[in-house]
């Protein structure tokens, strides 16, 4: 397995992983017709823009994991306002906004390796804490994040998915950007 920084030429492969991951992980959580409507051309454009926009700069990035030359997982992180900062204060964190992999690599160590690389990359940024939002019903993802030192804050909000056409609860996780567990 190789882990490297994502580049704009990876946009189509990232979009493919994104769609395949959603269709496997969110079956039964997100309506089947919404999963079937995921569009690779649209997501490729979105990822091309993200790779030259929001996921660039200090404290931001996209990492891809490759196996036999094919992208099988990716993660994107960027600075964000801390969702738990007291009103009227400015506190910044790094937000792990995306972390997806094809189902064929679940449980193989690819995600663990990618998580370690993301954590290492985040430690080089200017923030001491990281956050992520996960679909509350996604118990597999929640177990994975918890095994990597993320803690459920108890904060849950309704999040609009797929352009706001579907609303599902998401849970906020947080971790310090310090040593990884075991």
For the chain, which residues make up each domain, given as ranges? 2-176
pLDDT at 55: 87
Q: How confident is the model at residue 8 (pLDDT cuts 50, 70, 90)?
A: very high
pLDDT at 64: 98
Side-chain-facing half-sphere of 178: CA atoms under 13 Å: 6
**Which residue from 45, 56, 53 is spatially nearest to 5, judged by alpha carbons?**
56
Strand pairing category for 92-101 and 129-135: parallel
Give the list of residues 6+ apart from residue 28 with CB closer than 8 angstroms, or none.
none
Report d(CA 73, CA 78) in Å as an integer.
18
CA 171 to chain centre: 13
Side-chain-facing half-sphere of 79: CA atoms under 13 Å: 13
CB contact at 8 A, 132 and 173: yes
CB contact at 8 A, 51 and 11: yes
pLDDT at 126: 87
Give the list of residues 6+ apart from residue 130 with CB closer than 8 angstroms, or none.
77, 93, 94, 95, 96, 122, 174, 175, 176, 177
Pick one of 3.30.2140.20, 3.40.630.30, 3.40.140.10, 3.40.47.10 as the CATH number of 2-176.
3.40.630.30
- Looking at residue 146, the DSSP 8-state letter turns out to be H
Q: What is the pLDDT of residues 50-95, one digit of tens each?
A: 999 888 888 899 999 999 999 999 999 999 999 999 988 889 999 9
Q: Taking residues 147-155, report their average pLDDT.
A: 95
pLDDT at 163: 60
pLDDT at 162: 65
pLDDT at 160: 72
Q: What is the pLDDT of residues 18-56, one digit of tens each?
A: 999 999 999 998 888 889 989 999 999 999 999 998 888
**Average pLDDT of every residue of the chain:** 92
pLDDT at 31: 87
Q: What is the pLDDT of residues 100-137, one digit of tens each?
A: 999 999 999 999 999 999 999 998 888 899 999 999 99
């Amino acid at each position: 397995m190789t882990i490297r920084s994502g580049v704009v030429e990876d946009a189509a492969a990232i979009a493919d992983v994104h769609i395949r991951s959603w269709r496997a992980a969110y079956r039964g959580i997100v309506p089947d017709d919404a999963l079937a409507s995921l569009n690779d051309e649209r997501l490729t454009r979105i990822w091309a823009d993200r790779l030259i926009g929001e996921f660039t700069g200090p404290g931001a990035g996209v990492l891809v994991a490759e196996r036999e030359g094919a992208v099988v997982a990716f993660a994107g992180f960027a600075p964000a306002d801390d969702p738990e900062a007291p009103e009227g204060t400015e506190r910044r964190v790094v937000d792990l906004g995306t972390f997806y992999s094809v189902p064929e690599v679940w449980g193989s160590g690819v995600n663990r390796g990618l998580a370690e690389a993301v954590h290492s990359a985040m430690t080089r940024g200017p923030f001491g804490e990281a956050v992520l939002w996960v679909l509350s019903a996604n118990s597999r993802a929640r177990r994975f994040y918890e095994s990597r030192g993320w803690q459920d804050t108890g904060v849950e909000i309704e999040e609009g998915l797929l352009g706001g056409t579907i609303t599902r609860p998401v849970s906020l996780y947080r971790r310090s950007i310090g040593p990884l567990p075991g």
